[in-house]
Amino acid sequence: MRFLRKLWASLLAAFLIIPMFQQTTAQAATPISIYIDGSRLTTDQAPVVISGRVMLPLRAIFEALDATVNYNQTLQTVTAQKDGTTIVLKLKSRSATINNEAVLLDVPAQSIKGRTMVPVRFVSEALGQQVGWNNSTKIVTINSGSGTGGSDSGSLDPNPVAYVSARDVGNNGDGRDLEVSFSKSSNESRVEQYRVMIVKSSNASVFNLTAAQRIASANYTSLSPSGTDPVVNLSAGARDVDGATIRENQSYVAYVLAIGKGNSANALSNPSPAFTLSNGAAVAAPTNVKVSDVSDYGDGRDLSVTFTRAQNESSIANYRVFVVKTKDAGSFTLSTANNVPSSYSTVVSKSGSGSTLTGQLASSARDTSGDLIKNGVSYTVFVQSVSNHSGFANKLSSASSAISLAVGSVISPVITKVEDWNDYGDGRDLRVSFNRISDETRIGSYRIFVVKASDYANFSLAKANAVSSANYTQVNKTGSNISSYALSSSARDVDGASIRNGVSYRVFVMAVGTGNYAGTNTLSAASSAITLTKGNAVDTVSNVTVEDVSDYNDGRDLRVTFTRASNETYISNYRIMVVKTSDAGNFTLSKANNVSSSNYTTVSRNGYTLSTVLNAGARDVDGATIRNGVSYRVFVLSVASNGYNLSNALSYYSSPITLSYNAVGAVSNLSAADVSDYGDGRDLLVSFNRAADESNISHYRVMVVKSANASSFNLSKANNVPSDRYTYISKGNYTLTGILAAGAKDVDGAAIKNGVSYQVFVLSVGSNGYTGSNNLSTGSNIITLSGSAVGAASNVTANDLNDNGDGRDLRVTFTRASNETYISQYRVFVVKASKYGSFDLNAANVSNLYTPVNKNGATLTIDLGAGARDTDGEAIRNGVAYRVYVLSLATSGGGSNALSGVSNEVTLNDSGALERLNVNAQTTGSGYSYSDIVVSFNKQANETNVQEYRIMVVPAANVSSFSLEYANTVTLDSNFTTVSPNGQNIQVPLNRANTVYGTPLDANTTYHVFVLTVVKSGSGLPNVLSGPSGQVKLNVDPSTVPVPAATIDSATANGATIAVNIKKADGDQNINQYLVIAVPDTDVSTIKASDGYQGTIVAKQGPYLGAVDKDYQGNTLDFQKNSYNIYVISLPDTSKSTNYNITGPTPVTPTP
């Protein structure tokens, strides 16, 4: 009970701490960070705020708190255990249990974008942790009481941070515009927290440590130590130390106060350079600037800079990399960067498709003070977005971490990626990629260390050197970067524990010195955190095999066979993907998910082992037609059904196969004859001449096909006929004959019988190396067996008539036999559709599970009874697909019974249920505005329980994770278009400008449209989400696209003309050509770029020279009366832009 009292006290505290959370949907303006014992917790799904509670992925939070986790997919429950405490949470439920005692949560555990999210405050405090919340920084801190912290006793004081930098990052007019970054204290283990304080510049001279220690908590922003150089955006309500709200047009400086642990003293930094917030337009800044020492030249070539490109680059020309001495980094501002000479920075092009750009500096690279970059100097790097438009200012990134280039040492490798590739549950699931060091002559090999994420902060070079060889993976140097290196099944972490699912790891790579450098090993930085999982993916197929079965020289030659996934409950279908053998080693789940639908073959789930021959137009995953002579491997992707928040799963690849010609001959002179009167296969005699060459043939298979299906019966279908549906005939004599058995079936599985029109085919089956290269004969003559059986009923149909949920819903109609003289009655048999192929006359004759019908007319109709059962003895019910047969029962001595053909397939349903709608979306008109997107769909067949339809727009990148559960949480009416049911099919334009995530629609993003059918309250029915529409995208409005101005290099009078040299505009993709005009001084003030003037045209592609002999109105130049100015107008390509741009006036230089 003491534990529960503590829990409820903690929960009450949580309610008091977070009253500012008012969001009703899962969104937050500022990203939320989680720190546990001072270490930041990194997760693949960002934390969110729902109904005032911080939510984050369950596995990340539970494991970070050293709790064991179990997730039950069927029950959708999460169980966590730690130190004798057991917590059980159920998805979508507000109730939970702690040691079997029920408690109530404000926010239930739920699934967001494929990740199970739990309330961090409830779980952490239930497990006995201390939780803090900083609203300004949006940081949750958790103190487990077991963190390592520093080793100081409190007698040593923290050092002040080395520099503080502040910059304007927004246009809100308050604290949200201010980003403060600073270096961590050099002895951060002695720091309890940092306090960021904003001081008016006019008061900075009197602000000191004593004053800083007196500042009220409402007037500063606090951060916990994180092990990295902090960067923080202030909140809208942030205040300066005087208590005044931070605002525009006020000059400030920033300080950072480091609060010492225990009895340690506090330390105040020097002030940042003065700054003033302003509301001006600027391009976006790059982020995530990182630097590394990659070589040992002793100059700029040793320094590699990576950064994430700006989110919107439409107004960015390129990027500039600035290397700043760390001692000067605190005073390096945007203004400073704008004035740095170009030779003191490195330009990085924005070209390329990746989000991360890399700048490799040259040997002549200099820092911003003009000194050559060299070893032994501490540098900090900034990256600037350079605007290509006069209406937008440049923007400077945050500072990188400090770095000093080393001399005469082994350089550290750089980890580029860690991935979870498979589902073995051991080291084979983990793949590591890293960049080799530039000079591998100094090392003998690399070592990969896997460290539990909870311990990685304490993992050092000294500890790495001491790890047993059984607990790391050695990688030989190859001269190239290491890509996707797979660990072995026996791989262990550095503690000696087998690598397994459910544990959060970080990876390090060591370069092992050799020769003169033996013992000078170096250790990489830690990778991002990774937790191997299997629970969020559907099961994979197994035993993928491939065969060359024909000689078409296309996909029809390739048969793929595999064993279905062990659990198909959550699988929609399978996708067969053919990959060139040379690419198979790098074919991942991510790549498989992105393969175009035209480049794979879809297979429905319908049996234990699935076998498919590809079609003639089948292509490999690169889009190339499948053909002979190319080595392939085949993968099978298990595709998760919508609505389960599960990811797809990729099989292991097949053995390699290269298609080739493998001819097997076909039989000839095939004929069929009716030779008896048993009413079964014994009546059918088949004869044919053997193939001319039987050396490649194993045997023959006689296949009986209904003549109605014979035209579509081909080799692919013949190869897939089960063994109980053909007759085996050994090769041998020139002419082969065979009478079929009494139980012989046609290829559909129906017993061969009188009154059915057939054609016979013979399949030549290849042997030895020709296995799979079978050959199918042409069809025989058409034959219909006849005998003394009574007539069969015909035209059997089955329909869903009512909503009783039993046999009373099923109406059967059929036409009586043409001659009923020897028929005593009819019997109606209801067979599950999955088994109708095996139901025949013999089965009908022995079954007592039927409904009798008396003969009484040409067409008979019967509604089955409430207790009617199918041929398996099960009650007829909704949701099961059925087919119906009618048996004509012969009178005693009147001959044999006769079975009708099978009916249509029917599935009984409740007519009030709602359907999954099909949605169409397309742009109309100009296509510039969201209202130009018109959405159409057919209404629900029964709208009785429909409250409304909600049209939802989802970016293409989010379609795979958009589910009914998420759609139900979208309640803000600005994020969807509402349509009320009116009895008509729907065709409406969008009337809301936002996606379901609240972001405005734009022309740079591809979208899909969903329709959520919302049911009336009290109907008892669930909402229904449609499938996605096809892709739809807005067009770019040419009136919003700027064109840049050219530059005039010179304008010189030359006799009666003016010779003009121009420099073309940067980023001229929207320009058609340039117009050079001469304007008298008296008219300069009237010139506008978009007015039509006379002048000289200069082609976009050059040469960039023009001779002007008339002024802009067509008058001959008169140098005696006028002085002239030259303008160059950028004329747009009107298909892309309708804007013009013009240079400033350039006076004409007179002839010397």
| Tens of pLDDT, residues 662-716 | 667 888 889 998 766 677 898 888 989 888 778 778 899 999 999 999 989 998 8
Coil, helix or strand for 902?
coil
CB 942 within 8 A of CB 917: no
Closest by CA to 419, choosing from 541, 529, 307, is 529
Does the 668-784 domain belong in CATH 2.60.40.10? yes
CB atoms within 10 A of CB 1060: 27
Burial (0-12, 13-18, 19+ Cβ within 10 Å), 549: buried
Closest by CA to 989, choosing from 1031, 934, 1032, is 934
Closest by CA to 774, choosing from 692, 699, 829, 682, is 699
pLDDT value of residue 90: 77
Kindly list the distances between the CA atom of residue 850 and the CA atoms of 689, 830, 866, 873, in Å, as whole numbers in the listed order: 46, 7, 13, 10
Angle (CA) 359-486-564 rounded to 5° is: 120
Q: Where are the domains of the chain?
A: 2-143, 164-266, 287-404, 414-531, 542-658, 668-784, 794-906, 919-1036, 1040-1147
Tokens representing 614 are 């590809």
Coil, helix or strand for 783?
strand
According to CATH, what is the number of the domain 414-531?
Answer: 2.60.40
* Residue 25 pLDDT greater than 50, yes or no: no
Residue that the structure tokens 């009290």 belong to: 1018
CB atoms within 10 A of CB 625: 13
pLDDT value of residue 985: 94
CB 1148 within 8 A of CB 1052: yes
CB 549 within 8 A of CB 719: yes
Whether 2-143 shares its CATH topology with 919-1036 is answered no
The β-bridge partners of 780 are none
pLDDT value of residue 457: 78
Write down how long the chain is: 1152
Residue that the structure tokens 């370069």 belong to: 511
pLDDT value of residue 414: 84
pLDDT value of residue 380: 92
Cis amide linkage into residue 119, ω under 30° from 0: no
Tell me: the pLDDT tens digits for 591-639? 999 999 999 999 988 766 788 999 999 999 999 999 999 999 999 999 9
**For residue 887, which amino acid is it?**
L
Query: Could you tell me where the DSSP H helices lie in 1013-1109?
Result: none
Q: Which CATH superfamily is 794-906 part of?
A: Immunoglobulins (2.60.40.10)
Kindly list the distances between the CA atom of residue 493 and the CA atoms of 218, 464, 490, 506, 1055, in Å, as whole numbers in the listed order: 45, 11, 10, 10, 84
Kindly list the distances between the CA atom of residue 219 and the CA atoms of 32, 174, 346, in Å, as whole numbers in the listed order: 21, 14, 40
pLDDT value of residue 472: 97
Q: Which residue has the higher pLDDT, 675 or 970?
A: 970
696/105 Cα distance (integer angstroms): 72
pLDDT value of residue 970: 94
Tell me: the pLDDT tens digits for 215-264? 988 899 999 898 888 889 998 888 999 888 787 668 899 999 999 988 88
Closest by CA to 736, choosing from 680, 655, 669, is 669
- Please provide the DSSP assignment of 190-229 as one string: GEEEEEEEEEEGGGGGG--HHHHHT--GGGSEEE---SS-
DSSP E strands: which ranges in 309-440? 316-325, 346-348, 356-360, 378-387, 395-396, 403-404, 414-420, 430-435
Tell me: the pLDDT tens digits for 862-872? 999 999 999 99
Tokens representing 496 are 């000696």
Q: Which helix (H) or strand (E) element contains residue 590?
A: helix 589-593
37/132 Cα distance (integer angstroms): 11
Q: Which of 368-377, 653-662, 797-806 has the highest mean pLDDT?
A: 368-377
Q: Which CATH superfamily is 542-658 part of?
A: Immunoglobulins (2.60.40.10)
The β-bridge partners of 485 are 432
pTM of the full predicted structure? 0.29
Give the phi and the psi of residue 1072 in degrees, each rounded to 5: -90, -50
**For residue 897, which amino acid is it?**
N
List all residues 6 or more positions away from 1103 whose beta carbon is below 8 Å from its beta carbon. Answer: none
* Residue 173 pLDDT greater than 70, yes or no: no
- Low-confidence winner among 12-16, 146-150, 397-401, 554-558 (lowest mean pLDDT): 12-16
967/996 Cα distance (integer angstroms): 8
Kindly indicate the confidence band of residue 745, based on its pLDDT and cuts at 50, 70 and 90.
very high
Fold that domain 919-1036 belongs to in CATH = Immunoglobulin-like (2.60.40)
CB 99 within 8 A of CB 85: yes
* Residue 875 pLDDT greater than 80, yes or no: yes
CB 196 within 8 A of CB 256: yes
**For residue 1016, which amino acid is it?**
K
1125/1140 Cα distance (integer angstroms): 19
Mean pLDDT computed over 896-903:
88
Coil, helix or strand for 64?
helix
CB atoms within 10 A of CB 53: 20
For the chain, how long is the longest CA-to-CA vector? 129
577/210 Cα distance (integer angstroms): 70
Kindly list the distances between the CA atom of residue 1042 and the CA atoms of 37, 146, 365, 1039, 1132, in Å, as whole numbers in the listed order: 51, 58, 34, 8, 9
945/981 Cα distance (integer angstroms): 10
Closest by CA to 69, choosing from 647, 650, 536, is 536
Tokens representing 16 are 């008091």
467/463 Cα distance (integer angstroms): 6
* Residue 149 pLDDT greater than 80, yes or no: no
pLDDT value of residue 153: 37
* Residue 471 pLDDT greater than 90, yes or no: yes
Residue that the structure tokens 């088949």 belong to: 686
709: left (phi over 0), alpha (psi -120 to 50) or beta: alpha
Kindly indicate the confidence band of residue 550, based on its pLDDT and cuts at 50, 70 and 90.
confident
CB 918 within 8 A of CB 940: no
Tokens representing 217 are 């908590």
Instruction: Tell me whether strands 946-955 and 1007-1015 are parallel, antiparallel or unpaired.
Output: antiparallel
Closest by CA to 317, choosing from 385, 383, 382, is 385
pLDDT value of residue 938: 93
* Residue 647 pLDDT greater than 60, yes or no: yes
Task: Tell me which of 3.30.540.10, 2.60.40.10, 3.40.50.2300, 3.40.630.30 is the CATH number of domain 1040-1147.
Answer: 2.60.40.10
* Residue 27 pLDDT greater than 50, yes or no: no
Query: Helix, strand, coil % (nearest 5) of the chain?
Result: 15, 35, 50
**For residue 1069, which amino acid is it?**
Q
CA atoms within 13 A on the CB side of 520: 13
pLDDT value of residue 26: 34
118/131 Cα distance (integer angstroms): 15
Tokens representing 767 are 């042997």
CA atoms within 13 A on the CB side of 242: 13
Tell me: the pLDDT tens digits for 70-82? 777 767 777 877 7
The CATH class of the 287-404 domain is mainly beta
Query: Could you tell me where the DSSP H helices lie in 853-892?
Result: none
* Residue 774 pLDDT greater than 50, yes or no: yes
Name the average pLDDT for the chain: 84
Task: Tell me which of 3.30.70.890, 3.30.457.10, 3.40.50.2300, 3.40.50.1820 is the CATH number of domain 2-143.
Answer: 3.30.457.10
Helices (H) and strands (E) in the chain, counts: 11, 76
pLDDT value of residue 406: 74
* Residue 20 pLDDT greater than 50, yes or no: no
Give the neighbor-by-neighbor strand order of the sheet with 101-104.
68-72, 77-82, 85-90, 95-98, 101-104
Cα dihedral 965, 968, 973, 976 sign? positive
Q: What share of the chain has pLDDT > 70, as a percent?
A: 87
Closest by CA to 534, choosing from 651, 644, 422, 417, is 422
Task: Tell me which of 2.60.40, 3.40.50, 3.30.460, 1.10.10 is the CATH number of domain 164-266.
Answer: 2.60.40
